[in-house]
């Protein structure tokens, strides 16, 4: 049997760590520490960036608090040209913030209670062009209350925005070229996925034929066509900037989709805006829909991924990328 160790009193100090008690001077130094004494001058920074993102544009706003004290009552005001429509924003919200119309722009306002010291706040606005051949500016003005209880203002430089019109020249390529072009290093890809919100079912052949007509009217060269799977492949060159573009139209999972590849992302945004607008006009003129409000962009409102299918009215759908549930077509 193992020998018992000599018993030790549980009350004796053994292998203990002692902490030095704070002196009165230490306590006084802590109490005298105040955010009001921290200099925040030139330590609150504002940056923004406007760039193509998928089938649309992303406007990013970054407020960087480089000081050692928080700022409060943060208010962000963004002036957005009328030809851009807000589709979603980050951080995600249950509903999109309202846009207040002005003479030459719409104004968006976001508010946050506080921005802690040595931290930043990022806001990303996703903006859809609703027309081509437009020019305008997007601008951000921020107000906040600093640690001296004073309201300060930060004003960004206006970002110039140009949505160019495009003109396509047909370009003959073999069908084998499609795969090679789409996998070329540096190629950009974007997709416009639409759902048509009507109560009665309509033959998908009608949508397929409309897509074919729209591609031909815009001078694209047909490369291949799969009638059974309802997929079209076209190729063309933009006549002014001489950039090639591969375009695909398809009907899939109750969705009308236009997919494009090019080295020029701005060209992709203009192209997808043009063709989706023409598709909306076509089904409106044929009486398939009564309003363009019946056309739904099938991007996840949380992460922007394309939703796997167009659900029935009032039914929810789960994004296959971020797993967030949402209703695309509200049941009023």
How large is the average pLDDT for residues 304-323?
A: 95
Which ranges of 169-285 would DSSP assign to H, the alpha helix? Answer: 177-182, 204-217, 265-285
CB of 138 closer than 8 Å to CB of 160: no
C-alpha of 194 from chain center: 17
Residue 28's pLDDT is what? 45
User: Is domain 42-163 given the CATH code 2.60.40.1530 in the classification?
Assistant: yes
How large is the average pLDDT for residues 66-91?
A: 94
* pLDDT(270) > 80: yes
Return the H-helix or E-strand segment holding 24: helix 24-32
> Which CATH number is associated with domain 168-297?
3.30.310.10
Higher pLDDT residue, 99 or 18?
A: 99
Domain ranges across the chain: 42-163, 168-297
> Can you list the positions of beta strands (E) in 116-185?
119-129, 134-145, 151-155, 159-163, 168-170
Distance CA 129, CA 134 (A): 9
Tell me how many degrees the CA angle 46-159-166 measures, rounded to the nearest 5: 150
* pLDDT(210) > 70: yes
How large is the average pLDDT for residues 98-118?
A: 92
* pLDDT(6) > 60: no
Integer Rg of the chain from CA = 29
Residue 199's pLDDT is what? 86
Beta bridge partners of 128: 85
């Amino acid at each position: 049997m193992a020998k018992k160790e000599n018993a030790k009193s549980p009350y004796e100090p053994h292998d203990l760590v002692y902490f030095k008690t704070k002196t009165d001077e230490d306590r006084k130094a802590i109490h005298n520490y105040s955010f009001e004494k921290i200099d925040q001058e030139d330590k609150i920074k504002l940056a923004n960036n406007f760039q193509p993102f998928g089938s649309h544009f992303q406007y990013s706003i970054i407020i960087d608090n480089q000081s050692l004290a928080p700022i409060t009552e943060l208010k962000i005001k963004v002036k957005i040209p009328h030809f851009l429509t807000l589709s979603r924003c980050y951080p995600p919200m249950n509903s999109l913030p309202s846009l207040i119309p002005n003479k030459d722009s719409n104004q968006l306002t976001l508010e946050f209670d506080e921005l802690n010291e040595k931290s930043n706040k990022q806001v990303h606005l996703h903006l859809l062009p609703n027309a081509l051949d437009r020019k305008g500016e997007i601008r951000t003005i921020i107000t906040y209350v600093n640690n001296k209880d004073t309201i300060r203002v930060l004003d960004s430089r206006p970002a110039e925005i140009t949505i160019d019109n495009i003109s396509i020249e047909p370009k003959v390529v073999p069908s084998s070229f499609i795969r090679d072009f789409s996998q070329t290093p540096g190629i950009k890809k974007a997709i416009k996925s639409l759902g048509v919100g009507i109560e009665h079912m309509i033959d998908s052949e009608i949508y397929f034929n409309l897509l074919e007509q729209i591609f031909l009217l815009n001078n694209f060269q047909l490369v291949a066509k799969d009638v059974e799977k309802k997929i079209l492949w076209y190729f063309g060159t933009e006549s002014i900037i001489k950039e090639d573009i591969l375009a695909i139209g398809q009907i899939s999972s109750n969705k009308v989709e236009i997919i494009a590849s090019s080295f020029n992302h701005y060209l992709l945004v203009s192209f997808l805006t043009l063709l989706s607008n023409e598709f909306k006009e076509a089904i409106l003129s044929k009486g398939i829909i009564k309003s363009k409000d019946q056309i739904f962009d099938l991007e996840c409102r949380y992460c922007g991924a394309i939703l796997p299918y167009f659900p029935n009215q009032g039914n929810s759908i789960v994004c296959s990328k971020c797993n967030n549930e949402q209703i695309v077509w509200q049941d009023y």
